[in-house]
């Protein structure tokens, strides 16, 4: 590694953090931004918007580095992941962890510009993000832990705006956790055969022949809970229109995953951020209407 030219090394770093595959960042971003709008009663201001957009990108990138280190012995047995930088040996474990630590530190610097409550929650968010990759070894539904990690931007957003995390923040987190279970089960369906061989536990394996039904129930729980919570918070027709559009996308995903093909399941996962985007767009439009 020491002999690699700088451009090649930098290219490996970009591959490590999935620079050219931003879908994971979007999956984190839309519910976090939705929480900001809920907490602020509309546009939260440029400072918090920049902090949470950049922070989301940095933490997702750091999480990819940690995940690849934790899963390197498993990933080499999965065709789709065998060529990841750490798994292939192109990047060393220490170097990958150093990249992840630097990105997490940069995210923490951003958090320092908010308030003590948000800073305190950032430590819990980091702990969950580090813990998640290891749950595949002993927990039958590790996607639930990922759901907590991918939803932690919600209470942090409320804390940054209001200095507290009200019941609405935790209710939105639980609803969003259902969405994470939906799309990450689709993701797990792609690698189910490989995961069975190497002994990784996933929701797709746990649900078995009820995997497709489970995914659709998770979608329904997410969209149903967010519809109710939004209505209780005073949101109107445009917000519900966003929810309805997201439900239409989820219904389309059923046609992609019902035959459990790798291509269909991976496409459904990869395009899942549009579900979150339509909910966010409806929320923004509803607040803008007044």
**Which domains are present in the chain?**
6-289 (1.10.357.140)
Tokens found for residue 247: 């439900």
For CA atoms 166, 167, 168, 172, the dihedral sign is: positive
Picking from 176, 124, 170, the residue whose alpha carbon sits closest to that of residue 147 is 176
Range with the lowest mean pLDDT among 8-22, 42-56, 247-261?
8-22
Residue from 223, 211, 197, 67 nearest 145 by CA? 67
Mean pLDDT of the residues in the chain: 93
182, pLDDT greater than 70 = yes
Q: Are 138 and 201 in contact (CB under 8 A)?
A: yes
Q: What is the mean pLDDT of residues 19-46?
A: 96
6-10 long-range CB contacts below 8 Å, 24 or more apart?
none
What pLDDT is stored for residue 3 in this prediction? 62
Element (H, E) at 98: helix 93-111
What is the mean predicted confidence (pLDDT) over 193-209? Answer: 89
- pLDDT of 8: 84
Q: Does residue 194 or residue 60 have the better pLDDT?
A: 60
The tens digit of pLDDT for each residue in 220-231 reads 999 999 999 999
Given a cut of 90, whether residue 79 has pLDDT beyond it is no
To 10 degrees, the CA torsion angle through 180, 184, 70, 58?
Answer: -50
How far apart (Å, rounded) are the C-alpha atoms in residues 183 and 170?
20
Question: What's the average model confidence in pLDDT over 251-280?
Answer: 97
Q: How far apart are CA 16 and CA 64, in angstroms?
A: 7
Contact 238, 289 (CB under 8 A): yes
Cα distances from 269 to residues 42, 239, 263, in angstroms, run 29, 24, 10
| H-helix segments, 191-272 | 192-198, 203-207, 211-232, 237-257, 262-270
Mean pLDDT, residues 253-275 taken together: 96
> Residues for the chain: how many in total?
290
pLDDT of residue 109: 97
92-104 confidence digits (pLDDT tens): 999 999 999 999 9
Cα–Cα distance, 47 to 58 (Å, whole number): 16
DSSP state of 18: T
Please answer whether residues 265 and 256 qualify as being in contact, where contact means their C-beta atoms are separated by less than 8 angstroms.
Answer: yes
Percent residues over pLDDT 90 in the chain = 77
Predicted pLDDT at 120: 96
The pLDDT-based confidence of 193 (bands split at 50, 70, 90) is confident
Tokens of 170: 């935790």
* Structure tokens, 237: 């027709």
In the predicted structure, residue 10 carries a pLDDT above the cut 90:
no
Closest CA to 189 of 261, 273, 255: 261
In eight-state DSSP terms, residue 41 is T
Rounded CA gap, 289 and 178, in Å?
29
- Residue 74 clears pLDDT 80, i.e. is over it: no
Here the tokens at position 217 are 């129930």
Least confident of 19-23, 39-43, 74-78, 123-127: 74-78
For the cut 90, the answer to whether the pLDDT of residue 90 exceeds it is no
Give the phi and the psi of residue 116 in degrees, each rounded to 5: -60, -35
Q: Which two tokens stand for residue 104?
A: 């997490």
* 146 and 180 Cβ atoms separated by less than 8 Å: yes
Distances in Å between the alpha carbon of 142 and those of 132, 146, 205? 7, 6, 11
């Amino acid at each position: 590694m020491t002999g690699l030219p700088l451009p090649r090394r930098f290219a490996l770093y970009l591959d490590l953090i999935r620079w050219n595959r931003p879908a994971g960042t979007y999956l984190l971003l839309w519910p976090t931004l939705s929480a900001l709008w809920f907490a602020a009663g509309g546009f939260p201001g440029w400072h918090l918007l920049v902090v949470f957009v950049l922070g989301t990108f940095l933490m997702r990138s750091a999480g990819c580095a940690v995940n690849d280190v934790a899963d390197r012995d498993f990933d080499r047995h999965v065709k789709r992941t065998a060529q990841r930088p750490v798994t292939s040996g192109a990047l060393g474990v220490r170097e990958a962890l150093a990249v992840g630590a630097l990105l997490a530190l940069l995210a923490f610097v951003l958090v320092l510009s908010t308030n003590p409550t948000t800073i305190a929650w950032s430590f819990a968010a980091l702990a969950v993000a580090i813990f998640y990759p290891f749950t595949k070894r002993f927990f039958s539904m590790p996607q639930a832990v990922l759901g907590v990690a991918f939803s932690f931007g919600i209470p942090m957003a409320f804390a940054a705006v209001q200095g507290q995390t009200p019941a609405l923040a935790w209710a939105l987190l639980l609803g969003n956790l259902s969405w994470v279970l939906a799309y990450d089960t689709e993701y797990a369906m792609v690698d189910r055969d490989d995961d069975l061989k190497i002994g990784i536990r996933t929701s797709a394996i746990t649900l078995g022949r009820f995997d497709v039904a489970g995914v659709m129930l998770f979608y329904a729980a997410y969209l149903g809970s967010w519809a109710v919570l939004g209505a209780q918070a005073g949101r109107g027709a445009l917000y519900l229109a966003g929810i309805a559009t997201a439900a239409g996308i989820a219904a389309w995903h059923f046609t992609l995953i019902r035959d459990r093909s790798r291509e269909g399941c991976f496409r459904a996962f990869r395009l899942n951020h549009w579900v979150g985007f339509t909910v966010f767009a409806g929320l923004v439009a509803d607040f803008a209407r007044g």
